[in-house]
Chain A
Amino acid sequence: MSAPRVRPAFAEVAEQNLDGVLRYLAHLTGDRHLAEDLTSATFERALRDWPRYDPAKGRPSVWLVEVARRVALDHFRREGRRRAREERYAAGVPEAVSPPEAPGGFSADVRAALGRLTRAERELVALRVVLGLDAAEAGRVAGMSPSAVGTSLHRALTKLRQEVERP
């Protein structure tokens, strides 16, 4: 894949990749509403960092997904700290834990099955299957080698199918 050398306009890039970023975040978080919020935050950060985007290093879509991943991870960290604080203050009070919501927009079986995957597995499904990134691009986003992407994706899809077919 040869990377385009010409820097496109940010508005054009945003228009072309908005759906992809939202899909990625929806898979990653398992929460459609949260994904929309994070999508908005992603494009804010992307606009700020746009001068640092180097077309020679990859497609804008991959770069945007990398930004989205950082935004999501920041959110997960904040959430983790918030939960830890709340647990400290509410020590001893039993809390009802609800299972994570499956990504919206899927059929019931697939939605439920995706909800039982880990974030990392959902992320790979989103990168390779939904967004159509190749193994190298997906590995760049997820921080793994292309071969590790292949192995992990195989594991994730096998698990997904098992979950879908589970009675």
Chain B
Amino acid sequence: MSEARGIGPERMGELVDGASPAGEEERAFVALMAEARGLEQGAPDDLRARVLAAARAGEGAAEPSAARPAAGRALGALHPGRWLGDGAARRRRLLVAAPVTAAIVALVVAIPVLDGNGGPAATTPVAGAGAERPSGGEPGRGEGAFDSAAPSAGSIEAAPPAEAGAEAAVPAPAPGPDAAPGRLQRVAVRTRVQVEDVAALSRASSSAMRTVRRLGGFTASSDYGVPDGSRGGNALVFRVPVERVDAALAAFADLGTVLRQDADIVDVTDRVAAGDARVARLREELAVARAAAAADPSDAGRARAVMRAGARLERAQAAVAAQRRAARLATLELTLTTEGPAAAPAEEGRFTGPIAAAGDRLAGGLAWLLGALVLLAPFAVLAALAAWGTRRLRGRAARRLMRSA
């Protein structure tokens, strides 16, 4: 049978596809194939009748979906049955899909909670070295008070661009943010001041620290740097009582030319009030628990309830106290620099504003999209890997099955 091996794969393929045989060996091969082909029996009548009856009966159900428009087919692709399969496959897929879905949902819910402050307070950055500020301050606040959105607003407005350049430099001191009477607010103000030279930088730094001490605050940090003797800067962070922020900012403005000033205020009044209410409720609970424990001193469960209520009360009191402390001292960041202001922005034309706004919206949308991608990418990669692995395993198993006789 050595001749049989004389027909190469390509020639054999041609013979299979109907090429005329040349020589005894090829004719024998063609005869063998014809025998295999010709001796085959067709389907028995009962099978044919059964299959065709089912096909005709089911055709009505199958064809309309095939004739549906593309949109209909796309919606059909979303049908759960198509993805879940049936029987054991459905159970397997559900076993995988359920924990994955739960993990994604938990992540989606947890991230905003962990990321945000979770409270009703709102932040409204107010920028600009001048006296101009966004209107709409909270009613009942003193004139010149820092604007802060109503706690329920929950919106964050972009700070107006700081004026820059010689024209933009603001010689007049910026009226500082007055703490709203009766409100508890976390205040943070950033001020950038240009001084003439390195000597003035040193003097201004010392002056600012003295001023803050005089106002009852303290210097949290200072980052002084003079790289080449002709220019330098100092990034200072102060903590100042909220009610004296105005005075501190006025003093800072006297140190040189204010290039930029912006501020954030977070109203924590409602949050503190909610904390106080919780403390009151926990006190009542503790009193009730104590009364119950006193009625039956031998009941260990009631004694434990008293301890738990006491611990909860202590934690709530500590949280409220921390919020009050944070609202008492404002954070003032003062950057003193010998460098001039950044180049003045181009004058806004008729179309520049809308185009810039559209660009901002586009950038915002892209940022959201990017965030979603970052969030979902690990899951997508895991799912792709799982699908790839499953496919490979199934392929390998199929090949193993097909190798057997």
Contacts and interface: CB of A to CB of B under 8 A. Distances in A.
Interface stretch (B53-61, B101-109, B163-171, B286-294): B53-61
B39 A19 contact: no
Contacts of B62: 10, 47-48, 50-51
A39 B403 contact: no
A43 B50 CA distance: 10
Interface string B134-173: 0000000000000000000000000000000000000000
A153 B76 CA distance: 40
A122 to B, nearest CB: 9
- Of A51, A52, A106, the most chain B CB neighbours within 10 A belong to A51
Interface in A111-167: 114-120, 123, 125, 128-130, 134-135, 143, 150-151, 153-154, 157-158, 160-162, 164-165
Contacts, number: 147
B65 interface: yes
B33 A129 contact: yes
A11 interface: yes
A157 B403 contact: no
A73 interface: yes
Nearest to A26: B40
Interface stretch (B7-15, B227-235, B373-381): B7-15
Contacts of A106: 35-36, 39-40
A50 B12 CA distance: 35
A4 interface: no
Chain A contact surface mostly: helix
A106 B402 CA distance: 21
Interface residues of A, number: 59
Interface stretch (B310-318, B360-368, B393-401): B393-401
A161 B52 CA distance: 37
B405 A107 contact: no
B29 A161 contact: yes
Contacts of B82: 52
Interface string A1-24: 000000101110011001100110
Contacts of B115: none
Contacts of A14: 51-52, 55
In the A-B complex, the 10 residue pairs with the closest CB atoms: A154-B9, A120-B402, A14-B55, A105-B41, A51-B65, A50-B62, A19-B42, A11-B55, A47-B58, A150-B9
21 contacts: A9-B59, A10-B59, A19-B43, A77-B397, A104-B41, A105-B40, A106-B36, A106-B40, A110-B35, A115-B405, A116-B405, A118-B402, A119-B405, A120-B402, A130-B37, A130-B40, A143-B398, A153-B12, A157-B16, A158-B4, A160-B36
Interface of A: 7, 9-11, 14-15, 18-19, 22-23, 26, 30, 36, 39-40, 43-44, 47-48, 50-53, 73, 76-77, 80, 100, 104-107, 110, 114-120, 123, 125, 128-130, 134-135, 143, 150-151, 153-154, 157-158, 160-162, 164-165
Interface of B: 1, 4-5, 7-10, 12-13, 16-17, 28-29, 32-33, 35-37, 39-44, 47-48, 50-52, 54-56, 58-59, 62-63, 65-66, 73, 76, 82, 395, 397-399, 401-405
